[in-house]
């Protein structure tokens, strides 16, 4: 078991310390953002993520946050940005398919669902 599972507050503190020492520490940014999201601390996560980073996992996390805040049009944009950075990001395709379905855009929904299925069939 990881410290994230056994002691989430200690894990958050460790990630915050890592970011204080190196604000560009990618893994710490990703993991701290995820822990804040899991805790329902969406406002903190939003401040933590800040502007659009040029890293697919951070942009994806931002998209999930926007979706959870009910800002689905902005989430679609962020998922598309994550895919622009990594076209093989299967989860971004899946989430886009769901959002496009809700937005009544079946063509876009199907396109992303098929991309997701192709990746899953290829073991991505």
Helices (H), the chain: 3-6, 8-21, 26-38, 42-49, 56-68, 72-85, 90-102, 106-121
* SS3 state of residue 84: helix
Q: What is the mean pLDDT of residues 49-70?
A: 78
For residue 25, name the pLDDT band (cuts at 50, 70, 90).
Answer: confident
53-124 topology per CATH: 1.25.40
* SS3 state of residue 86: coil
The tokens describing 119, both together, are 């990746």
Inform me whether the pLDDT recorded for 92 exceeds 60.
yes
Domain extents for the chain?
Answer: 1-50, 53-124
Looking at per-residue confidence, does 89 or 45 come out higher?
A: 89
The predicted-structure confidence for 73-85, as pLDDT tens digits, reads as follows 989 998 999 999 9
Inform me whether the pLDDT recorded for 89 exceeds 80.
yes
Inform me whether the pLDDT recorded for 95 exceeds 90.
yes
CA geometry: angle at 24 spanning 22 and 36, to 5°? 95
CA dist., res. 62 & res. 38, Å (int): 13
- For residue 31, the model assigns a pLDDT of 79
Tokens 């049009």 belong to which residue?
73
The answer to whether 124 and 90 have CB atoms below 8 angstroms apart is: yes
Inform me whether the pLDDT recorded for 48 exceeds 90.
no
Inform me whether the pLDDT recorded for 16 exceeds 80.
yes
Inform me whether the pLDDT recorded for 117 exceeds 90.
yes
Global confidence as pTM = 0.66
């Amino acid at each position: 078991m990881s410290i994230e599972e056994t002691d989430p507050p200690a894990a958050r503190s460790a990630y915050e310390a890592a970011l204080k020492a190196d604000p560009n520490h990618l893994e710490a940014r990703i993991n701290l953002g995820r822990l804040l999201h899991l805790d329902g601390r969406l406002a903190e996560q939003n401040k933590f993520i800040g502007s659009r980073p040029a890293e697919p996992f951070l942009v994806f996390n931002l998209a999930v946050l926007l979706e959870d805040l009910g800002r689905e049009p902005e989430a679609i944009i962020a998922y598309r940005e994550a895919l622009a950075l990594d076209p093989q990001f299967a989860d971004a395709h899946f989430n886009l398919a769901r959002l496009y379905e809700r937005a009544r855009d079946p063509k876009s929904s199907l396109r992303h669902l098929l991309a997701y299925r192709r990746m899953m069939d290829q073991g991505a």
